[in-house]
Chains A and B, each alone.
Chain A
């Protein structure tokens, strides 16, 4: 390999770096060749001594990616460092998978805690709003057919809806303004389901039956406004603590990753020296 080929291959392999940096590295290698040739050495010997240009380029890129990750610990930069180090065969990428699983689990747990916190805030907010303005009322039955978003049936109106489906299926929804009760009934050839609530918002009757048997639940205590406040506060407490400590753990693991990668990098430079 001659000097020009070496530089060309190096330039090609450094394509991932910003232009100014690439130019600087290439200029440094050109100067190195100039010095070596002035010293009376021949081009091929210098190329051999310098090593494989692609490998040099990988090393120079990996160092840069590591710096980037240390400056901005984003998942994208982590991916780049991992693949750069794997390219240098410092790091077996298989080792990265358990790590990614752990990070994913941690992150999910943390998001879960955040959701609990959010639910707590919503419950508490609903209680506050209910206490101050009377809205939202807690004696409404809410259901969702998952196609059109939440639906709410208020018990203080008169509604009758009937619908027929296949296999003699039938759906009926009835509200009674005088008692404030709502009844939803679904039935077909195989079984039926009935949900009925009372004026205070409690579930007066929930019945599910088919050819093999029937389950009936009734007189379930409604959620009182005070109960909702307690639930909201407990959720906020659990969610708040979970989010806070979860975040601390994630940050610690994230930092540890940086140090571990740096250590792997140093190990490479200790041991790869001929």
Chain B
């Protein structure tokens, strides 16, 4: 069920992280891994998709050690996409909570329906 729920929300999580500050892939993976289970290998292809959709763009920054590092930053359309995703997510969660609260009050048990 959790896997199903993660459908489409990983993109939103990445966009949300980037809305706070620009970041590079390894750091994004690390941040996400702190709060949720993720497949490490899925993030890079995801970043390329976000880039292809022009929701994020990249720039290079010199780092102290080694070659220049590629940072991802949110574009204007990425920002508005994130806002609408957030709105949908909030109303979705509110609907589900509403239903769960009602059925919980009436029968005292929860139906698990994916």
Contacts and interface: CB of A to CB of B under 8 A. Distances in A.
Given A36-B26, A49-B40, A59 B45 contact: yes
A32 interface: yes
Contact of A51 (B25, B39, B49, B70): B39
B66 A34 contact: yes
Interface size class, chain B: 20 to 34
Interface in A221-274: 266, 269-274
A46 B65 CA distance: 20
Contacts of B85: none
A193 interface: no
Interface string B1-21: 001101110100000000000
Given A28-B70, A31-B70, A56-B45, A273 B25 contact: no
Interface in A35-60: 35-36, 38-39, 46, 49-51, 56, 59-60
B87 to A, nearest CB: 19
Interface residues of A, number: 26
B41 A31 contact: no
A165 B24 CA distance: 86
B97 interface: no
B40 A271 contact: no
Interface of B: 3-4, 6-8, 10, 24-27, 30, 37-42, 44-46, 48-49, 52, 65-67, 69-70
27 contacts: A28-B25, A28-B70, A29-B44, A31-B66, A31-B70, A34-B66, A35-B24, A35-B25, A35-B27, A36-B26, A39-B26, A46-B40, A50-B41, A59-B45, A67-B52, A270-B4, A270-B8, A271-B7, A272-B42, A273-B6, A273-B7, A273-B42, A274-B3, A274-B37, A274-B38, A274-B39, A274-B42
Interface of A: 25, 28-29, 31-32, 34-36, 38-39, 46, 49-51, 56, 59-60, 63, 67, 266, 269-274
